[in-house]
Amino acid sequence: MLRVAVVGSGPSGVYTAQALVQQTAVPGVRVHVLDRLPCPYGLVRYGVAPDHEKIKSLQGSLRAVLEDERVSFLGDVEVGARGLTPAALLELYHAVVYCVGAARDRRLGVPGEELRGCFSATEFVSWYSAHPDSARDAFALDGPAAVVVGAGNVAVDVTRLLVRRAAELAPTDVPQGALEALAASGVRHVHMVARRGPGQAKFTTKELRELGALPETRVLVDPAELALDPAYGDPAALPAVNRRNLEVVRGWAADGGAPAPRDIRLRFFLRPVEILGADGRVTAVRFERTEPDGEGGVRGTGRYEEIAAGLVLRAVGYRGRALPGLPFDPARGTVPHEEGRVLRDGAVSPGEYVAGWIKRGPTGVIGTNRHCAKETVEALLADAPALARRRVAADPGARLRELGHTPVPWTGWLAIERAEAALGRSLGRERVKIPDWEGLRAAAREA
């Protein structure tokens, strides 16, 4: 038997487990999927926006893998905590695959980021997704204006959530506190601001178009900013996704629609240079106008503009976090690897593998992690004869408990699901997420 630990139960971890048990070349593979949270699914539960029901429903297919009899879920087990170092883990399993994601946010690196009212999109997403690490319960939603810095799908997600009405979110599983705060929000104007033009923006067209379909909201684009885009005259030169984005944005520039209670302004060619404040609170963002530099980037023009806002969310990308005891490339924010085999000082480290965002960086859609996991599992299976000869502890679960970990088993997660359904019923909603560690652990114990 080959015993494999997969660290992380997000898409890459679950796809790794799936590829390991569905193959036939190496029989007798058993997989333990460990997660530091009592709940599975990683960013599918704690990142994908609550109003994206179709993508959220991917949890159903991930669930089927975790319910396979050859796979065991061990929640509330953090690798790196309580003596469970990568070296200790390697004594328990023939192979370990790290699928720990890359959910640390990037900073803007401008003065004023510490002001009250300036947050990372990650903090905002964690709050409305009920991540138990979310430390915030207030987001300067007294309005009327917010600035979202960024031009990717996460920027689009948080922009959309800021203008959604409570009635649209109540049928989702957003935690009650976030629902009530968003219902009371005074934010009416959201400025989504990008350093470059729509021809280079990273959002996907489907996400972008959704902004135009939001009830009681219109989308405004300044035609003069579009005209700055090098592709404006000749979109044919762009990759298909950017060409489609440009078409959508041009449509809004030509016709912003009728006045509506809320608006989203898409702004381009502006880079933040300072967050301005008074009495410790954000009051505006100062931007420098940029222009194309002819090489696909932008350069500053020395002209400045301020946008008044009480809330600033930065959505300028993610990067991985070093896991003590595991090699880490700080420049790329990933674990160095060769086809998924972890490299220590440039040499393959027997038994250690990596998949997902921590392997390739925060790129692609959920399905990209499936291919990524497959490559890693192919490498692992090719190494299987040598891995099976490694001496490992007879009962990893017992060793975890000796170290002070109390894994939440799959039945514990099912109990959390039941508790969330009961909470929903008590609030007249379908299902409501439990937002804190204590509540999740107490619910899991009911199993």
Ligand X SMILES: Cc1cc2nc3c(=O)[nH]c(=O)nc-3n(C[C@H](O)[C@H](O)[C@H](O)COP(=O)(O)OP(=O)(O)OC[C@H]3O[C@@H](n4cnc5c(N)ncnc54)[C@H](O)[C@@H]3O)c2cc1C
Contact positions toward ligand X, by CB under 6 A? Answer: 7-13, 34-37, 42-43, 47-48, 52, 55, 78-80, 99-101, 103, 125, 154, 157, 323, 356-357, 364-366, 369
Pick 52 or 390: Cβ nearer ligand X: 52
The least CB distance from residue 208 to ligand X, in Å, is: 13
Pick 177 or 361: Cβ nearer ligand X: 361
In contact, 11 and 62? CB cutoff 8 Å: yes
The least CB distance from residue 130 to ligand X, in Å, is: 13
Cis check for the bond before 324: say yes or no (omega within 30 of 0): no
The alpha carbon dihedral of 387, 393, 398, 401 has a sign of negative
Q: Tell how far CA 327 is from the center of its chain.
A: 22
The least CB distance from residue 37 to ligand X, in Å, is: 5
CB contact set of 173 (below 8 Å; sequence gap of 6+): 50, 130, 420, 424, 430, 431, 432, 433
Token pair of 282, please?
């954000």
The least CB distance from residue 28 to ligand X, in Å, is: 25
Pick 231 or 355: Cβ nearer ligand X: 355
The least CB distance from residue 5 to ligand X, in Å, is: 10
In contact, 29 and 70? CB cutoff 8 Å: yes
CB contact set of 294 (below 8 Å; sequence gap of 6+): 230
Q: Of all residues in this chain, which one has the CB nearest to ligand X in the complex?
A: 10
d(CA 87, CA 85): 5
In contact, 71 and 21? CB cutoff 8 Å: yes
In a 10 Å sphere around its CB, with 0-12 CB exposed, 13-18 middle and 19+ buried, how is residue 385 labelled?
exposed
Q: What residue has token string 């689009």?
A: 156
C-alpha to C-alpha distances, 75 to 111, 135, 397, 429, nearest whole angstrom? 39, 21, 12, 27
The least CB distance from residue 295 to ligand X, in Å, is: 29
The least CB distance from residue 285 to ligand X, in Å, is: 21
d(CA 264, CA 251): 14
The least CB distance from residue 315 to ligand X, in Å, is: 8
Nearest one of 116, 151, 128, 108 to 49, comparing CA atoms:
128
d(CA 26, CA 381): 7
Pick 365 or 386: Cβ nearer ligand X: 365
Token pair of 364, please?
């692609």
Burial 235-272 (b: 16+ CB within 10 A, else e): beebeeebebbbebbbebbeebeeebebbbbbbbbbbb
Pick 121 or 264: Cβ nearer ligand X: 121
The least CB distance from residue 151 to ligand X, in Å, is: 14
Pick 218 or 314: Cβ nearer ligand X: 314
Pick 120 or 349: Cβ nearer ligand X: 120
Pick 371 or 445: Cβ nearer ligand X: 371
The least CB distance from residue 25 to ligand X, in Å, is: 24
Pick 100 or 248: Cβ nearer ligand X: 100
R_g of the chain, CA atoms, integer Å: 23
Pick 108 or 366: Cβ nearer ligand X: 366
Longest dimension (CA), the chain: 70
